[in-house]
């Protein structure tokens, strides 16, 4: 994880832009955000610009907790692992980060999906582990409300341990492809996980061989106490948002203290601070652009909120 330069990641949740109403901007794309070519051009441009990664955030519901959310918010987007698998084939170097929920997924499926993306991309896959905070998400998976906060992170820790164990269920030299002897794999190098825990029972082994990275990069996004503790115990990088440079320095020191409690060094862990840049020739023009974006918020949405 040691790097001698700033890591630059192109983040998008809404493909038209991360302001809630970016889709209304006259220059914003329309229906093309549901096709592949828009993303191909976007990510290839990012790769040419030497951006290190793209980060496609996700949640598993639409925003309909307020009446006008369905009408006005850009709820329709592509499933990100499918999208990144396609983008892997038209890029060469850029990292591919996306979200999968530990609350509303199964470890075996997540392990094979990210192992497959890592193989397809030549070792560029990264999993942003989230526990999912929205009740709307819970209701899509047989629950009336979300799992209690601390319990979500306990489940996430077990979930991640299983996924890593499944990635390790194939040793690096397990595949033989020996046509003369008929040995496809060395059975002594393929291992049953046989996990039995508080939340999961998973036998294994995985039906995808060990990823090129061994373990795809683990990112965590969530700045609660539980979230920061989980990140510093288990993740390689942490996505966070703070308003000022001073806030960022204090946040980094807090993270460093937590890393030390886990026996980790600060240089082993990267913080990816989120910013929403408004690019213009001058600060005045940038503020005008920001003000214009705010005018795109419908009155009805403001009333509902």
CATH number for the domain that contains residue 297: 3.20.20.30
Model pLDDT, residue 1? 47
Statement: the pTM of the whole predicted model exceeds 0.95? no
Confirm whether 176 is domain-assigned.
yes
Question: Per-residue confidence at 3, pLDDT binned at 50, 70, 90?
Answer: low
Confirm whether 4 is domain-assigned.
no
- Residue 147 near residue 158, CB atoms below 8 Å: no
Rounded Cα gap, residues 80 and 110, in angstroms? 13
Confirm whether 129 is domain-assigned.
yes
Q: Pick the residue with more confidence: 170 or 133?
A: 170
Report whether pLDDT(141) > 70. yes
Q: How many domains does the chain have?
A: 1
Model pLDDT, residue 16? 86
Question: Per-residue confidence at 299, pLDDT binned at 50, 70, 90?
Answer: confident
Report whether pLDDT(82) > 60. yes
Confirm whether 1 is domain-assigned.
no
Report whether pLDDT(2) > 60. no
Q: How many Cα atoms are found within 13 Å in the side-chain-facing hemisphere of 283?
A: 0
Which percentage of the chain shows pLDDT scores above 90? 81
Kindly state the tokens that stand for 51: 């951006």
Confirm whether 3 is domain-assigned.
no
Confirm whether 275 is domain-assigned.
yes
- Which domain covers residue 85, as residue numbers? 9-304
Question: Per-residue confidence at 42, pLDDT binned at 50, 70, 90?
Answer: very high
Exposure of 104 by Cβ count < 10 A (0-12 exposed, 13-18 middle, 19+ buried)? buried
Task: Find, among 136, 150, 159, 126, the residue nearest to 57 by Cα.
Answer: 126
Report whether pLDDT(80) > 90. yes
User: What CA dihedral angle connects 58, 4, 119 and 186, to 10 degrees?
Assistant: -130
Confirm whether 53 is domain-assigned.
yes
Most confident of 63-72, 96-105, 241-250: 96-105
Rounded Cα gap, residues 117 and 86, in angstroms? 9
Question: Per-residue confidence at 4, pLDDT binned at 50, 70, 90?
Answer: low
Report whether pLDDT(105) > 50. yes
Report whether pLDDT(280) > 90. yes
Q: Pick the residue with more confidence: 70 or 48?
A: 48
Report whether pLDDT(65) > 90. no
Query: Across residues 122-143, what is the average pLDDT?
Result: 95
Model pLDDT, residue 301? 65
Report whether pLDDT(75) > 90. no
Confirm whether 2 is domain-assigned.
no
């Amino acid at each position: 994880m040691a790097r001698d330069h700033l890591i630059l990641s192109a983040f998008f949740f809404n493909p038209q832009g991360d302001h809630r109403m970016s889709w209304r901007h006259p220059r914003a794309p329309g229906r093309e955000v549901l096709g592949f070519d828009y993303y191909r051009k976007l990510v290839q441009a990012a790769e040419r610009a030497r951006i290190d990664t793209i980060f496609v955030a996700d949640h598993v519901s639409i925003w309909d907790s307020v009446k006008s959310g369905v009408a006005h918010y850009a709820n329709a987007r592509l499933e990100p692992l499918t999208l990144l698998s396609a983008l892997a084939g038209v890029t060469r170097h850029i990292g591919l980060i996306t979200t999968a929920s530990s609350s509303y997924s199964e470890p075996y499926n997540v392990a094979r999906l990210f192992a497959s993306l890592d193989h397809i991309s030549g070792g560029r896959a990264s999993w942003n582990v989230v526990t999912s905070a929205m009740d709307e998400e819970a209701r899509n998976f047989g629950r009336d409300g979300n799992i209690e906060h601390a319990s979500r992170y306990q489940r996430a820790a077990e979930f991640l341990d299983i996924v890593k164990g499944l990635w390790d269920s194939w040793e690096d030299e397990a595949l033989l492809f020996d046509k003369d002897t008929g040995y496809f794999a060395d059975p002594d190098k393929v291992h049953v996980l046989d996990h039995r825990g508080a939340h999961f029972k998973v036998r294994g082994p995985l039906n995808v061989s060990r990823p090129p990275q061994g373990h795809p990069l683990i990112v965590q996004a969530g700045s609660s106490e539980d979230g920061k503790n989980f990140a510093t115990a288990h993740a390689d990088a942490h996505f966070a948002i703070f308003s000022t440079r001073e806030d960022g320095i204090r946040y980094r020191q807090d993270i460093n203290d937590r890393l030390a409690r886990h026996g980790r060094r600060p240089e082993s862990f990267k913080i990816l601070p989120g910013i929403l840049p408004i690019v213009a020739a001058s600060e005045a023009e940038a503020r005008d652009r920001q003000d214009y974006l705010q005018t795109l918020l419908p009155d009805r949405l403001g009333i509902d909120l």
